[in-house]
Amino acid sequence: MMPPLLQAADREKARRRLAELRELIRYHNHRYYVLDDPEIPDAEYDALFRELQELEGQYPDLVTADSPSRQVGAEPLSQFAPVPHRLPMLSLENAFNEGEISDFLLRLGRFLNTDQVPELHAEPKLDGLAVELVYEDGLFTLGSTRGDGVTGENITANLATIATIPRRLQTGADKPPGRLEIRGEVCLSIAGFKELNRRRAEAGETLFANPRNAAAGSLRQLDPAITKTRPLEFFAYGAADSSELKVTTQAQLLQQLHTFGLQLIPHGRVCPDLATALAHFRFLAEQRQQMPYEIDGMVIKVNDLALQKRLGAKARSPRWAVAAKFAAVQAATRLIGVEFQVGRTGAVTPVAILEPIKVGGALVSRATLHNEDEIKRKDLRLGDTVLVQRAGEVIPEVVKPVTAQRRGDEEAIALPSHCPECGRELVRKEGEAARRCPNPQCPAQRLRALIHFGSKAGLDIDGMGKKAVELLVQNGLVGDIPDIYRLRSEQLAELPGWGEKSAAKVCEAVAAAKNPKLARLLAALGIRHVGEVNAQVLARHFPSLEALQQAKEEDFLEVEGIGPQVAASLVTFFNDPATAAMLEQLKELGFTVSPEEEPARQLPLQGRVFLFTGALSEISRNEAKARVKELGGQVATGLNRKVTHLVCGDKPGSKLTKAREMGITILTEAEFDRLLGGAI
């Protein structure tokens, strides 16, 4: 037995450490839940919380009522009205390996006094923001964040802008439940996150660190119009009380929510035993980098709802569920250098050179820094300890410096004034985040334009990937796009690592790419601001490549969805003599453009442009827009002379008066519904 003096010393040491841990965890909770600006990786936070729980387990008399181990999340923001949850929105206990998943099931058995493992339900743990949706008699009436688990923030107006949240439950002829509190996660897909940050970078705005922060920041906008511009999605994972529904299991509950019109988290499944649950955990861990959404683990729940009720909850988490966490995808390392790369549009992008570190199972030594404004905003310095994360990117990104670990010898990052490839002085236009090399013959730009042309985003020429194009350029076989169509198999066969078969296959793929559709070619040419979507819009409007070459800026502005920036870029590209020469060379080499396929039938709303104003009551505005587009119509973002119909919901505002003055057709919501019905 330990002597009393040592026992007292250990107890005092534990007391001091517990006080320190509580203060640290409260600080990081505030940064994560309230500021949406975490300062440490999730794994480091989890380690702090685990240490707190273990010490409190050893010294239960030192546990305080306000300990973070007894609380969920953080206090609601004062800018939003508080919303008390009828039943608490609890957090989940974590399991960090397969052994701890097994321990969770052993605890269930002890509580239920049985050796039998209950049937389980497992699904990916999306990294987003937990919210609650309240439906009364089938109508969405209230939406809130989790907050501290007891009281959340009223974000009803913001949640109403999300297309995957139905305004009314789809119950058919059945009577909807009187009150249903649906719980789920709001998140951004990785593709949506990248696009959002791309737009913010172009606008010179601060970039979001990760999809979770972007989702949280988007939901906490004071102006719902801003939230509406963000590609948010909602996934239902349960209900506070399912007693009004005829369901007995978690799986049945989710299926009922899906029937009501709600989106479910993909890859959910019923697991009859521990082995099946562990196999699904391994599957999700292996597939996480291929998932369209960021996931940081798998949630395991007891499938039987009666057993869930019997198991109940502890202070901050239910006994019947656990979050099995994957290895962290964030890590801290040192920034030891910065390189500057030139892209195909001339944009000069800084790339961090890092002390190699494993992030999400991959060794990382380079990461994007986005642009010079981001370097300045984050106050990054050479020698900094930085937080690095992988968010579905091939090249990870530096999230922020860990300023608390600065030693004083860090150095400012020197930004280039001239192109690192060709030496031309860089320019930065007003309103743009990037410095650009203005030299169209810059070797770096030409190389990346060639890589893009043959890539999946371009003409998708088999065998013309990045490494192959680099090799062709290095050997002087390709210098511009027409050179690709001049390649001969005997030339390629002599390249290191190729051979006759590989060479023949590449030449066949190149020949097969001589007759692309117009939209595909426009996307492949790498015209600034013209990606896949704008390319399709242009191809629908202009009958041929020749028509595009002859078009003026005002012609492009006539196209719905094409703004001044894109129009100016198109004029610059097609008026460039180098472009004309390149297209003429392609023509001489037998390159032709296929006409876009005509729709099988004339869609009923083709030629009509709709604008919506005021609140719609029967369907969401997003659904209304989708219906218009499905029937061949277009949707405008503002009132202009191209708008043919103004659809007015409740409180339409000044647009109604202006539309009447312009002679635009005015439709009530009922008239719009009849129009859609007649068009189908």
Could you tell me the pLDDT band of residue 351, with boundaries at 50, 70 and 90?
Answer: very high
Q: Which CATH superfamily is domain 443-588 in?
A: 5' to 3' exonuclease, C-terminal subdomain (1.10.150.20)
Residues, the chain: 680
**Worst-scoring range by mean pLDDT, 366-375, 395-404, 554-563?**
554-563
Residue 275 scores a pLDDT above 50: yes
Binned at pLDDT 50, 70 and 90, residue 427 comes out as: very high
Residues annotated as catalytic are: 125
Q: 8 pLDDT exceeds 80? A: no
pLDDT for 66: 64
609-679 topology per CATH: Rossmann fold (3.40.50)
6 has pLDDT over 60: no
- Higher-pLDDT residue of 79 and 587 is 587
The pLDDT of residue 17 is above 50:
yes
* 329-333, 429-433, 595-599: the lowest-pLDDT one: 595-599
Residue 680 has pLDDT above 80, yes or no: no
From the number of C-beta atoms within 10 Å of its C-beta (0-12, 13-18, 19+), residue 600 rates as exposed
Report angle CA 531, 537, 542 to the nearest 5 degrees: 115
Enter the CATH code of domain 4-70: 1.10.287.610
**pLDDT band, residue 670 (cuts 50/70/90):** confident
pLDDT at 36: 55
Between the ranges 130-144, 207-221, 311-325, 535-549, where is the mean pLDDT highest? Answer: 130-144
Considering only CA atoms, give the Rg of the chain. 29
% of the chain with per-residue pLDDT over 90: 42
The larger pLDDT score, comparing residue 282 to residue 563, is at 282
**Is 618's pLDDT higher than 80?**
no
pLDDT value at position 39?
A: 65
C-alpha span between 463 and 510 (Å, rounded): 9
**pLDDT value, residue 393:** 44
pTM: 0.49
- What pLDDT, on the 0 to 100 scale, is given for residue 5? 47
Distance of alpha carbon 607 from alpha carbon 560, whole angstroms: 11
Q: Which of 113-117, 207-211, 220-224, 448-452 is most confident?
A: 448-452
pLDDT of residue 619: 67
Q: Quick check: 513 pLDDT over 80?
A: yes
Query: Per DSSP, which regions of 272-329 are E strands?
Result: 295-302, 321-325
Query: Residue 596's pLDDT band (boundaries 50, 70, 90)?
Result: low
Mean pLDDT of 587-600: 77
pLDDT at position 600, please? 43
| C-alpha to C-alpha distance for 265 and 215, rounded to whole angstroms | 16
Report phi then psi at 153, rounded to 5.
-110, 135
Range in 187-201, 386-400, 602-616 the model is least confident about: 386-400
Beta carbons within 8 Å of 586's beta carbon, 6+ residues apart: 481, 482, 485
The CATH fold assigned to 347-389+397-439 is OB fold (Dihydrolipoamide Acetyltransferase, E2P) (2.40.50)
Spatial distance between the Cα atoms of 30 and 33, rounded to a whole number of angstroms = 6
Q: pLDDT grade, residue 430 (50/70/90)?
A: confident
The more confidently predicted of residues 350 and 361 is 350
Residue 394: pLDDT band by 50, 70, 90 thresholds? very low
DSSP H stretches of helix in 130-186: 156-159
Query: Per residue in 50-84, pLDDT tens?
Result: 788 888 878 877 877 667 776 554 454 446 788 99
For 82-325, which CATH superfamily applies?
DNA ligase/mRNA capping enzyme (3.30.470.30)
Q: What is the mean pLDDT of residues 453-463?
A: 87
Summary count for the chain: helices (H), strands (E): 25, 22
- 180 or 229, which is more confident: 180
| Position 192 pLDDT exceeds 50 | yes
DSSP assignment, residue 318? B
User: Is 95 or 329 the better-scoring residue by pLDDT?
Assistant: 95
Mean pLDDT, the chain, whole residue set = 85
Domain ranges of the chain: 4-70, 82-325, 347-389+397-439, 443-588, 609-679
pLDDT of residue 361: 59
pLDDT of residue 623: 66
Q: Name the more confident of 131 and 529.
A: 131
Question: How far from chain centre, in Å, is Cα 429?
Answer: 28
Answer yes or no: is pLDDT of 526 > 50.
yes
**How much is the pLDDT for 77?**
47
- The pLDDT assigned to 384 comes to 95
DSSP string, 225-294: HHHHTS-EEEEEEEES--TTSS--BHHHHHHHHHHTT--B-TT-EEESSHHHHHHHHHHHHHHGGGSSB-
* CB contact at 8 A, 253 and 305: yes
pLDDT of residue 339: 94
